[in-house]
Amino acid sequence: MTASKIQDAQPIDTLIVGAGFAGMYMLHKLRELGIGAQVVEAGSGVGGTWYWNRYPGARVDIQSLEYSFGFDAALEAEWHWSERYAPQPELLRYADHVADRFDLKRDIQFNTRITSAHWDNTEGRWLVGSEADEFWACRYLILATGCLSVPTDVTFPGIETFPRPIYRTSRWPREGVDFSGQRVGIIGTGSSAIQSIPIIAEQAVHLTVFQRTPNYSMPAHNGSIPDEDIHARASDPRGYRAASKDTPGGFQNFGNTALATQTSPDEIRAELERRWAWGGFRILGAFADTAIAPAANRIVHDFIAEKIREQVADPAVAELLTPKDHPFGTKRPCVDTGYYATFNRPNVELIDLKSDPLVAFNAGGITTAKRQHDFDAIVLATGFDAMTGAIDRIDLRGVGGRKIKDHWAEGPRTYLGLMVAGFPNMFTITGPGSPSVLTNMINSIEQHVEWIAECLASLAKRQHASIEASAEAETAWCRHVMEAVTPTMMPQANSWYMGANVPGKPRMFMPYAGGLHTYTEICRQVAAKGYEGFVIRNGDSVLSESHDFTSHPPMPDIPEALMPIIIERLMAAGLMPAA
């Protein structure tokens, strides 16, 4: 950065990057504390995920009563969701409502993409630059850049020769797309595709779905919100919210403590049917051993495979739609409205890319090994460079000019998913190493924002000291993130949780699998111990210094029957000494 740019930089206490739910609440919270803050946002409006992902059928897959802010009782009471799982336009209206209600937009600069951020150790500040060469000098930098905000760079041979529109689900045109009378191809069968396929199939004259890997999908059973749920929240909003947050996933999923491997077939069937009928993610909590014991996982797999066969008329198509390469829950499961039944329509065709690989795009459409498919439009629902993508794309340099890309060369390293050693005064909201994408994001965002705000308030009391994660605590946290996931089967899947969907990306399980409730308690203890694992300085003087991370959570109540398998996996991963 040149001296003139540094001179022209706009001074601000805190720069927040991103105006999704995380950036908005962070701004609101800092204003309450009297800490100066400015938000910069690449889009032209607030809403983050819900601003960008405007594809047909996009909707939240956690119930809206829980996937909404709980920090303000009046906001909570005045907003009424129209459905159990709100659609994207309604979520965007909600984001706008929050922004207007708290008068946030006056401190949000839209259409501004941050491309660089360099720590200036002499002045103790970040110098942050935009694509348009605008600069800010800030004491604190908060990256509220989202976990699924950068689409993968996936491309296909000959893609430039297809002369008609190619749409990405995550960059959908604002004015929408009318596929009436068109032959449409869609690549991908993740959540975005599974939500959009039923709607596109209703419009298009013909829809071809190119599937590389089938996913597990559960019915949303969307509709109006049951009166008893509305009443439960209205009669005790704080208790309802607390019950949501005091769970592994940040939403009320009524996890069963029974083991599938120790339950009778009739009881298993009853439990699974009850949860399937309720809909959404509830089946994830059916038994305590589903994520750990292969036999238990297989029981749930077989149940879902049977449900797929019930919904899909052609047994060969049902077989192709049934997951085979990963245990249930090891990739993010999907929640759908009519996905499987869509394959019974005469205008919908499934191409299995495993047996009929995609060769190239061309002027007509797409050629696979077996034949040519002609299209008027093609949709790419091919996913995101998850969790690290948005941060990686900033030329981000910490103490001594160390690049975040180098620091994260073997996978993202953080302390608590909140800070990175060697990058002082820089916070990530729902960063890698935090529960984030394994949870209800809004509850995770609230927890992070409140922790960061309390931390900044405590620093302000000490004349704006700087805070930095210690290298030792970061290492200890990375190990704990591994300890939390290793007993489960999650690392077995080629998921975006593992960075496996981006060629060349280091394989590492990125979110913290210990649960939001456990994580919240760890963060509370860390702060209560005077920011354990952090070094707090004022200029050259060290105000407090801790290099340890001892705030380990109590081990959750693990059923005795699962201990041998857990110990075996921890030993195999070198996380427990061999007996």
Q: Which residues bind ligand NA7 (CB under 6 A)?
A: 148, 154, 169, 187-193, 212-213, 332, 353, 381-384, 496, 501
Block residue for tokens 């439960």: 232
- Rounded to a whole number of angstroms, the minimum distance from the CB of residue 390 to ligand NA7 is 14
Alpha helix ranges (H) inside 462-512 = 471-485
Q: How are beta strands 108-109 and 37-40 bridged, if at all?
A: parallel
**Residues 6 or more apart in contact with residue 269 via CB below 8 angstroms:** 303
Please, what is the minimum distance in Å from the beta carbon of residue 289 to ligand NA7?
A: 24
Residues 6+ apart with CB under 8 A from 264: none
**In angstroms, what is the minimal distance from the CB of 155 to ligand NA7?**
8
Shortest approach of ligand NA7 to residue 398 CB, angstroms? 29
Consecutive H or E run containing 443: helix 441-461
Q: How far is the CB of 487 from ligand NA7 (least distance, A)?
A: 22
3-state secondary structure of 117: strand
Residue showing the smallest CB distance to ligand NA7 in the complex: 190
CB of 350 to ligand NA7, least distance (A): 13
* Min CB(79)–ligand NA7 separation in Å: 22
Amino acid at residue number 529? K
Considering the complex, state which of residue 213 and residue 518 has its C-beta at the smaller distance from ligand NA7.
213
Residue 518 three-state SS: helix
d(CA 386, CA 441): 14
Rounded Cα–Cα distance for residues 559 and 507 (Å): 30
Instruction: Determine the number of helices (DSSP H) and then strands (DSSP E) in the chain.
Output: 18, 21
Instruction: Give 212 or 462: the residue with its C-beta nearer to ligand NA7.
Output: 212
Confirm if 429 and 22 have CB atoms less than 8 A apart: yes
Q: Which is nearer to ligand NA7, 247 or 261 (CB)?
A: 247
Length of the chain: 579
Between 233 and 373, whose beta carbon lies closer to ligand NA7?
373
Q: What are phi and psi of 34, to 5 degrees?
A: 75, 20
Q: Are 534 and 467 in contact (CB under 8 A)?
A: yes
Minimum CB separation from ligand NA7 for residue 331, in Å? 7
By the 8 A CB rule, do 193 and 382 touch? no
Q: How far is the CB of 412 from ligand NA7 (least distance, A)?
A: 18
Euclidean distance between CA atoms 331 and 423, whole angstroms: 31
- 355: Cβ–Cβ under 8 A, 6 or more apart, which residues? none
DSSP 375-404: -SEEEE---B-TTTHHHHTSEEE-GGG-BH
Strand partners, 217: 334
Minimum CB separation of residue 149 from ligand NA7 in Å reads: 10
Beta bridge partners of 166: 378
| Complex with ligand NA7: residue 223 or 357, whichever CB lies closer | 357
Rounded Cα distance between 516 and 255, Å, is 14
Cβ-in-10-Å burial (0-12, 13-18, 19+) of 510 comes to buried
Residue among 351 and 536 whose Cβ is closer to ligand NA7: 351
Rounded to 5°, angle at Cα 26 from 552 and 92 = 115
Q: What share of the chain is helix, strand, coil (3-state, %, to 5)?
A: 35, 20, 45
CA 14 to chain centre: 24
Nearer to ligand NA7, 191 or 447 (CB): 191
Q: Which is nearer to ligand NA7, 362 or 458 (CB)?
A: 362
- Return the number of the residue (231 or 507) whose C-beta is nearest ligand NA7: 507
CA 336 to CA 341: how far, in whole Å?
Answer: 11
| Closest separation in Å from C-beta 561 to ligand NA7 | 31
Q: Which is nearer to ligand NA7, 185 or 285 (CB)?
A: 185
Closer CB to ligand NA7, 392 or 532, in the complex: 392
**Nearest CB to ligand NA7, comparing residues 185 and 398:** 185
Considering only CA atoms, which of 301, 267, 264 is closest in space to residue 284?
A: 301
Alpha carbon distance 413, 319 (integer Å)? 40
Instruction: In angstroms, give the least distance from the CB of 36 to ligand NA7.
Output: 34
Closest CB to ligand NA7 among residues 415, 497: 497
In the complex, minimum distance from the CB of residue 127 to ligand NA7, in angstroms, rounded to a whole number: 33
